[in-house]
């Protein structure tokens, strides 16, 4: 499954309902109603190489929202919330996936205060496709065409390829190294440029990521 297929399948699950989503001025998007906190009903992952799509989903304990009529009624299930990271599993199309997801702890735009949809970072595993700990980002706006995003963890920087509002690590050989850096790090700083020239900086706390990945690894062996 390629980026957009995979992504759309997962994102169409009850992910957006877990958070109140602000209107995004840089791209037309229907507002999502604010959800009231409730028991687990979950989100889902994001993208990867321009041939291997990825999903998207939320972090904090999700809200109970009706599951979208997608993939035979499949919906994400919360496995556990660890710090800023939620661990989830789902079986769209009968294929099991597991992912850890987080929202940024802080976000900035330049020019300031530009509206956008929520952004998410995912670490996903798809046993049927022999994919483990695939990194992807949903940024909340369409990226500038042919641009790249960067993710800084401590003094180490990783380059991400972009496509529409998604990004995945450009050099797949660095993926395992980046996951190790995230496990040992305190934050991941994501920088990108929108199609309208707005520069964004999202800081993701890495607190709880290791535990979330241990949980997803356990469920998607």
Count how many domains the chain has: 1
What domain range is 107 assigned to? 3-219
Element (H, E) at 166: strand 166-169
Say how far residue 60 (Cα) sits from the centre of its chain: 13
Predicted confidence at residue 93, as pLDDT, reads 82
Q: How many residues does the chain have?
A: 221
Contact 102, 151 (CB under 8 A): no
Average pLDDT along the chain, 221 residues, taken 10 residues at a time:
44 41 34 38 49 40 28 71 95 89 95 92 92 94 96 96 95 94 97 96 97 94 78
Beta-bridge mates of residue 192: 200
Predicted confidence at residue 92, as pLDDT, reads 86
Buried b (16+ CB within 10 A) or exposed e, 139-150: bbbbbbeeeebe
CATH of the domain at 44: 2.60.40.1880
């Amino acid at each position: 499954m390629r980026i957009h297929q995979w992504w759309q399948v997962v994102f169409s699950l009850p992910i957006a309902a877990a958070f109140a989503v602000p209107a995004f001025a840089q791209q037309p998007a229907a507002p999502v109603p604010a959800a009231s906190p409730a028991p687990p009903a979950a989100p889902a992952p994001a993208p990867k190489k321009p041939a291997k799509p990825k999903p998207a989903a939320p972090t904090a304990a999700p809200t109970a929202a009706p599951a979208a009529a997608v993939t035979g009624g499949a919906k994400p299930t919360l496995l556990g919330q660890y710090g800023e990271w939620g661990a989830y599993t789902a079986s769209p199309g009968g294929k099991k996936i597991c992912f850890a997801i987080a929202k940024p702890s802080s976000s900035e735009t330049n020019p300031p205060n530009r509206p956008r949809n929520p952004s998410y970072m995912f670490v996903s595993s798809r046993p049927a496709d022999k994919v483990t700990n695939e990194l992807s980002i949903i940024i909340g706006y369409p990226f500038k065409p042919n641009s790249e995003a960067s993710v800084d963890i401590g003094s180490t920087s990783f380059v991400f390829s972009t496509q529409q509002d998604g990004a995945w690590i450009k050099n797949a050989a660095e993926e395992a190294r980046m996951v190790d850096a995230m496990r040992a790090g305190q934050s991941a700083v994501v920088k990108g440029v929108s199609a309208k020239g707005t520069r964004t900086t999202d800081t993701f706390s890495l607190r709880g990521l290791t535990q979330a990945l241990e949980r997803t690894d356990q469920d998607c062996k």
